[in-house]
Structure 1
């Protein structure tokens, strides 16, 4: 066979795969295009800006393993339907539950499934690390991101205050605010350290991959990035407070602020390299990564350990030899797998585009008609700026300040959503309260002896919080289609289930807040708020749709 005939055969073998790749791309674009702007917006932000480099690292590692990939057999390809089906399930969980992160993870599973279907188990295993690495580029869910950020803010504030005292500066910490006499340093979200923790964790993973050491040493290297980053970030906060005394507020902004962030990253990288050197001196090390040595990759011409060199489990009849230049391009079984994958993804796309699982459910009565007089309470209605209403995506809301004859006040807020889709779901009040400068002293679920929404009791989120000497008690919960929910995980799960089984995702947020007066105990404020709820909550059933429309 001359060179011209060989080239023609190769072109004929490749032509169908260009078509199949285009079909895969079209279906995946139809399923996930709406979620891509969310990813790119996160990558353009401060916490995930490193993610633009992840695909380049993945390509480099894949190229380093090209010899192992070309010599590996196509084994057990049909097992790739497992991650493909998992991806489809997560797609519906994210789509109906209104969670972008699940959609992004779904896309990852689908791609892994397609690679497995057309490359086999061994090749996919060789690419396991770069594929896993891409998961680190997926933004965390908003509610989880906020929780981690808040915890890092508090930890960094605590350690930063300790460092300031060690430097001889009098420092008093309250929440995420450090008072050093001259000024107050507030450890905001941008200074929480999260934008250093995640990139350094990713860097630790990459270094561990190339580290010629045993598993426990590589694991220690990766895990050490978290306390290391928190420590350096706390020291940065302390030095900001220390130099503020002589240099003023410019040390907390502009060039100094950005430069100190880069110093943290560079110093932490140097510490990780030093840690690798020390660990490398301890005991015996593992085998070097090499080309294809990761994930138990076979040597050229060899079958995997769990397969016979004569017969490869799961290999399609008629498959080309492992070393052939047309490996996995000219195999008869590939067309069946393409058809199966396109059928699964195509059906998912068809249902996604034709069935509305979350139609709008109008409120029974507009919340603008909620009574301003309830028993001994008299209220005045307030309004939210239009731009914030658009940002919250609420269908209807009411915001009322009630006061009784004793001058005691309660702030009452209800937001209703006709449906909840990804990016248009209920916003927890925790975000607004923390963003408004409130520091949570106590937070958790609490069951109140208040009959509400057809139940004899009411389970709510209870929060005791402070801000600049003020103390308040707040309750909030989510009436959802006859259920009373109180956390974000419940919201996502029941949105998915009810969209699937009842074609409903409508729901509401109810939040009540009362100030704790000077000399007043939390128990007194608690009694006032529960008394108010016993009068107000039963009225909500006239407005918010329940289990039955």
Structure 2
């Protein structure tokens, strides 16, 4: 018997297949353990609690697609996909990097790359193309990057607020909008991130994809169904605000306090799922397929169990062994790798911030409990700086994080200001020259915000271990890099704001901010270390 024949016989044995599959599963879990732990933590939060549902739906659709492709198991492609090999390698690097820098998100994204690459390696490009729906759906199970999460939240909040105000006004009720705060007179409603729709949008999109996949409708109708998910959530959220306005107008604010507000959110989610699930019936009734006798939803579950328990083809076994070998190599590199250790340097507490800064008097303030919990900072400073000779004050806010990759991270003012009722009318970057204070030249964000008739000029930046960074993406990248090279991921956001008065205008506000910044930043390094 030739070696080729002997090898083929070995690979056909059930025990060899089970051993290869077990080795692949165990080594992959070990490599991506950091990412899996991060996913478990994120899935326990309200925003990403749909993660397990996404995973279950993806696996089901994956098995359904393989069941309908009868040759998938017995006739794998002759050549291995080079793209698949590259994605597998990139995913393993992500798993190693996640362990090295101690950031679960990096390993979680690496796991997604690895999964797509492994499927390409085993099934080839043509069959993987048939699996694009469940593979794309897997991305919705991952937590969004912090900066992307807040950008989407801001957009959804703004859209929800605008639509809600127009709907309330159409009923003839008095309503005013300041940022994301809707003033109903006796009751003020904040369209917060939970109400903005992300908490309901993501699961709604998942079920829209599921309905579109299972429904016997045309492709363009499926696209329409998925595309309707976001507008539907925004509309229903605006409808919820309208109902609140009616209840406040008829029965007073007591009707919408406490559990009723939360219950309306769940009603909104269930209503969106019911509407999306019903739409395929209406599309069939009004479209070219009306009169068809085939069921609207194809719910045939037969044969799915056989898909996942079938013996892999002998030609597939070397690929499974290769994937397991790659994971084992990555694991061997990871085992001697010490867990990431990051330490924040010693610093003074903001509680000891001076009460006088030259010609400025400092009056610290305390944030409310909800804001403190949302901020999730290790330390913060919220203070009003008043000129000793009298005049217009400057507001100083700083939030310090010992590890910016733990917890919720720094919130962008682009999301926080509208939540406080401020509208951002103008925003961009401006150059600051503070070399005489040791801060060098850097770019900061400059914004003009308004609430009613009040206007303010705002400067803010992210203070990152001796560097000033104006944007969230750059902040995240520098934090990851410094975590590896310097063992530090601490940092802060620093924000100065002052009213724009009618008599002095923007120029006077800029001079006032410059004076206050120079007085405060001299002290800042002991609270936010370089």
Question: Does the CA-based 8 Å contact 1:27-1:346 persist in structure 2?
Answer: no
Question: Does the CA-based 8 Å contact 2:34-2:99 persist in structure 1?
Answer: no
Output the CA distance in 2 between the equivalents of 1:97 and 1:438: 38
Question: Does the CA-based 8 Å contact 1:170-1:180 persist in structure 2?
Answer: yes
Output the CA distance in 2 between the equivalents of 1:246 and 1:274: 37
Identify the residue that residue 189 of structure 1 maps to in structure 2.
193
Question: Given the alignment, which residue of 372, 388, 391 partners 1:405?
Answer: 388
Distance 1:250 1:134, change over 3 A: farther
Output the CA distance in 1 between the equivalents of 2:410 and 2:469: 12
Question: Given the alignment, which residue of 239, 255, 258 partners 2:263?
Answer: 258
Distance 1:329 1:365, change over 3 A: same
Distance 1:219 1:526, change over 3 A: same
Matches within 5 A, 1:354-365: 354=338, 356=340, 359-363=342-346
Q: Are 2:268 and 1:268 aligned?
A: no
Identify the residue that residue 339 of structure 1 maps to in structure 2.
325
Distance 1:375 1:242, change over 3 A: same
Identify the residue that residue 218 of structure 1 maps to in structure 2.
222
Output the CA distance in 1 between the equivalents of 2:432 and 2:192: 37
- Structure 2: give runs of 5+ residues left out of the alignment: 1-8, 301-309
Instruction: Give secondary structure in 2 for the equivalent of 1:139.
Output: coil
Q: Are 2:63 and 1:63 aligned?
A: yes
Question: Does the CA-based 8 Å contact 2:98-2:105 persist in structure 1?
Answer: yes
Q: Which moved more, 1:501-510 or 1:168-177?
A: 501-510
Instruction: Give secondary structure in 1 for the equivalent of 2:424.
Output: strand
Identify the residue that residue 510 of structure 1 maps to in structure 2.
494
Q: Are 2:357 and 1:374 aligned?
A: yes
Question: Given the alignment, which residue of 95, 111, 114 partners 2:115?
Answer: 111
Q: Are 2:273 and 1:237 aligned?
A: no
Distance 1:273 1:327, change over 3 A: same
Instruction: Give secondary structure in 1 for the equivalent of 2:44.
Output: helix
Question: Does the CA-based 8 Å contact 1:449-1:458 persist in structure 2?
Answer: yes
Question: Does the CA-based 8 Å contact 2:400-2:528 persist in structure 1?
Answer: yes
1:159 Cα deviation after fit:
1.7
1:155 Cα deviation after fit:
1.8
Question: Does the CA-based 8 Å contact 2:24-2:320 persist in structure 1?
Answer: no
Question: Given the alignment, which residue of 447, 461, 482 partners 1:498?
Answer: 482
Question: Does the CA-based 8 Å contact 2:150-2:412 persist in structure 1?
Answer: no
Output the CA distance in 1 between the equivalents of 2:173 and 2:421: 26
Q: Are 2:192 and 1:209 aligned?
A: no
Output the CA distance in 2 between the equivalents of 1:359 and 1:108: 26
Identify the residue that residue 32 of structure 1 maps to in structure 2.
35
Instruction: Give secondary structure in 1 for the equivalent of 2:90.
Output: helix
Identify the residue that residue 304 of structure 1 maps to in structure 2.
none
Distance 1:265 1:458, change over 3 A: same
Q: Which moved more, 1:114-123 or 1:170-179?
A: 114-123
Matches within 5 A, 1:295-310: none
The number of residue pairs the alignment matches comes to: 498
Q: Which moved more, 1:400-409 or 1:381-390?
A: 381-390
1:529 Cα deviation after fit:
0.9
Matches within 5 A, 1:82-161: 82-91=86-95, 100-161=104-165
Question: Does the CA-based 8 Å contact 1:83-1:113 persist in structure 2?
Answer: yes
Output the CA distance in 2 between the equivalents of 1:386 and 1:195: 22
Output the CA distance in 2 between the equivalents of 1:201 and 1:226: 7
Distance 1:212 1:341, change over 3 A: same
Identify the residue that residue 525 of structure 1 maps to in structure 2.
509
1:53 Cα deviation after fit:
2.5
Deviations for 1:180-212, whole angstroms, at most 9, x for unmatched residues?
445444333333233333233222222333455
Question: Does the CA-based 8 Å contact 1:221-1:276 persist in structure 2?
Answer: no
Output the CA distance in 1 between the equivalents of 2:495 and 2:150: 19
Question: Does the CA-based 8 Å contact 1:464-1:474 persist in structure 2?
Answer: yes
Output the CA distance in 2 between the equivalents of 1:543 and 1:49: 36
- Structure 1: give runs of 5+ residues left out of the alignment: 1-5, 293-323
Identify the residue that residue 445 of structure 1 maps to in structure 2.
428
Instruction: Give secondary structure in 2 for the equivalent of 1:65.
Output: helix
Q: RMSD of the alignment, in Å? A: 4.3
Instruction: Give secondary structure in 2 for the equivalent of 1:354.
Output: coil
Deviations for 1:491-510, whole angstroms, at most 9, x for unmatched residues?
11222333445554343332
Output the CA distance in 1 between the equivalents of 2:367 and 2:76: 60
Distance 1:58 1:522, change over 3 A: same
1:423 Cα deviation after fit:
3.3
Matches within 5 A, 1:423-462: 423=407, 425-428=409-412, 437-442=420-425, 444-452=427-435, 454=438, 457-462=441-446
Distance 1:26 1:107, change over 3 A: closer
1:100 Cα deviation after fit:
4.9
Instruction: Give secondary structure in 2 for the equivalent of 1:74.
Output: coil
Provide TM-score, normalisation by structure 2.
0.77
1:98 Cα deviation after fit:
7.4
Output the CA distance in 2 between the equivalents of 1:24 and 1:77: 21
Question: Does the CA-based 8 Å contact 2:465-2:490 persist in structure 1?
Answer: yes
Instruction: Give secondary structure in 1 for the equivalent of 2:335.
Output: helix
Q: Are 2:203 and 1:199 aligned?
A: yes
Output the CA distance in 1 between the equivalents of 2:230 and 2:411: 29
Identify the residue that residue 305 of structure 2 maps to in structure 1.
none
Instruction: Give secondary structure in 1 for the equivalent of 2:492.
Output: strand
Question: Does the CA-based 8 Å contact 1:465-1:473 persist in structure 2?
Answer: yes
Q: Are 2:481 and 1:474 aligned?
A: no
Output the CA distance in 2 between the equivalents of 1:120 and 1:440: 51
Identify the residue that residue 19 of structure 2 maps to in structure 1.
16
1:83 Cα deviation after fit:
1.6
Instruction: Give secondary structure in 2 for the equivalent of 1:447.
Output: strand
Q: Are 2:335 and 1:350 aligned?
A: yes
Output the CA distance in 1 between the equivalents of 2:352 and 2:261: 53
